[in-house]
Amino acid sequence: MRRKMTDAGTSISSHAYGMILAAGLSLAMLSGSALSSAAGGLVDEKATSEVTVSKDAKGFHIHTINRSYVYNSFVAATVEPSTMAALLRQLITIEKTSAVTAPGDDDPQYEPSQIKVAVYPLTDKGKGPAKFTITATAESVDADSSYLTFTRPGCCVEYETKAVYSLETGAYLFNSTNDKWATLGSKGGFAMTRMAVAHVAPTESDDQVFGKVEHAGAVISYASPTAPLQRVMVLLPKDAPDDTTLNWDGTLLWVSNDYPDGINHIYVERTDKAENVFTNATLRFKLDDSTAIEIPLEHDRLNIAAAKLPKGYQLKDMPLQ
């Protein structure tokens, strides 16, 4: 039998050493538990996942509900420029419901997943009541600072689209298909940020984004970090080929006197009201190397009446929901 040396130089058997080690670990675990209890637990919950499987003539039917927790924190945007912004801490619960049918030797048939997200404030008093709940059709969701992003993949030639919400207010901000955001900023904190983003057809979410409008090619959104400000639909010419948008570049740029060729971010070095800061620029939405839609930005709003458009194209203001 192998023997180990103690600090005092005496030898003990491996079995006896293991018993002592186990006893020491148990004592340490008990001590750690006691310390945690003494420190005072604020939240103690469990999120249980589920799976059910059945079978009939069509094959196996698998239904899953996966639940998880996420911690998130960020500096609030909805404050006056002269006020110190608060650090917001959140506990987020995520529940994803999915269903798949697996028939014989054929490929599995997947139903679009539903994801439900509930956002709870976390303070020195623990977890507060849910501030808001968001449910969306998506295959994944990510909490990144002040944004919650639901991702829905495309099928075949379709684009992947991302629905982005504010984690401060719960407001739906926009959908994006290419992650090519054009942003503006100025002195005054995160509240003085603006984003221009485009959702381009075709995607799995077009019915929700376009509202089944015919000849819809894209939606250009203009938003702050906490609220949508404008949504502008791009309508194609009635005789446009079905695959028109598949060839679009989709880049968004801000054009100004300082940046005549366009740039994806402009920072204004002054403190003022948003309508006085975010103005005298043009949003350029590139369709290809020689074709673009240009919309003037005037007093924190896109002026679609003064937009420059390719022949046959139209712009339409959409309601903010």
* Domains identified in the chain, total number: 1
Within-domain flag for 19: no
Within-domain flag for 12: no
**In this prediction, what percent of the chain has a pLDDT beyond 70?**
86
Within-domain flag for 263: yes
Within-domain flag for 21: no
**In this prediction, what percent of the chain has a pLDDT beyond 90?**
75
270-287 as b/e, with b when 16 or more CB fall inside 10 Å? eeeebeebbeebbbbbbb
pLDDT of 156 > 60? The answer is yes
CB 74 within 8 Å of CB 145: yes
DSSP letters, 38-50, are HH--S-------E
Residue 291 phi/psi, 5° resolution?
-130, 135
Band the pLDDT of 61: cuts 50, 70, 90: very high
Band the pLDDT of 106: cuts 50, 70, 90: confident
pLDDT of 168 > 80? The answer is yes
Band the pLDDT of 135: cuts 50, 70, 90: very high
Q: What is the mean pLDDT of the chain?
A: 87
The CA distance from 233 to 304, in Å, is: 10
Within-domain flag for 42: no
Q: Among 17-26, 109-118, 198-207, where is mean pLDDT lowest?
A: 17-26
Cα dihedral sign for 114, 118, 71, 146?
Answer: positive
Q: Is there a cis peptide before residue 319, judged by omega within 30 degrees of 0?
A: no
Distances (CA, A) of 137 to 39, 127, 166, 206: 41, 27, 17, 12
> 249-288 pLDDT, tens per residue?
999 999 999 999 999 999 999 889 999 999 999 999 999 9
Higher pLDDT, 321 or 226: 226
> 46-60 pLDDT, tens per residue?
999 999 999 999 999
Q: How confident is the model over 290-315, as a mean pLDDT? A: 97
The CA distance from 104 to 178, in Å, is: 37
pLDDT value of position 86:
85
| Domain range for 226 | 50-318
pLDDT of 150 > 50? The answer is yes
pLDDT value of position 82:
57
pLDDT of 65 > 50? The answer is yes
Within-domain flag for 20: no
Band the pLDDT of 7: cuts 50, 70, 90: very low
CB 169 within 8 Å of CB 227: yes
> 195-214 pLDDT, tens per residue?
999 999 999 999 999 998 99
> 66-94 pLDDT, tens per residue?
999 999 999 988 766 556 678 999 999 99
Within-domain flag for 1: no
pLDDT of 11 > 60? The answer is no
pTM of the predicted structure, to 2 decimals: 0.84
Band the pLDDT of 300: cuts 50, 70, 90: very high
Within-domain flag for 6: no
pLDDT value of position 80:
64
